[in-house]
């Protein structure tokens, strides 16, 4: 990422967001958070939200699959023990 700090100097950083969501494309403007006392330290403003959202989606998917597995096991045991 390249940006101009509050002091007018140009800075660059590499984001630690490694999830390829297609949200961040080359040349696209994105929001960043910059510490005015250390303008060389910046991070994506929405990176935390993107990671948390992805984690929640995987969590919901995992719980759903676990629920389906429990129901299938219960049906199987019910049929076998009859």
Regarding beta strands 10-12 and 2-4, do their DSSP bridges make them parallel or antiparallel, or are they unpaired? antiparallel
pLDDT value for 35: 82
Q: Tokens standing for 57? A: 């989606």
Domain boundaries, the chain: 2-80
Please list the residues that pair with 24 across neighbouring strands. Answer: none
pLDDT at residue 55, rounded to an integer: 73
pLDDT for 73 equals: 94
Q: Judge if pTM exceeds 0.75.
A: no
Distance CA 47, CA 40 (A): 18
Output the tens digit of pLDDT for each of the chain's 82 residues: 788 887 888 988 877 665 555 666 677 777 788 888 888 888 777 655 556 666 778 888 899 999 999 999 999 999 998 8
Cα 5–chain centre separation: 25
């Amino acid at each position: 990422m390249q940006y101009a700090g509050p002091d007018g100097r140009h800075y660059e950083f590499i984001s630690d967001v490694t999830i390829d969501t297609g949200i961040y494309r080359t040349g696209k403007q994105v929001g960043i958070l910059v510490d005015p006392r250390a303008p060389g330290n910046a991070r994506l403003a929405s990176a935390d939200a993107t990671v948390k959202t992805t984690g929640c989606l995987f969590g919901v998917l995992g719980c759903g699959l676990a629920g389906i597995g429990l129901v299938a096991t219960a049906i199987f045991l019910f049929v076998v023990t009859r």
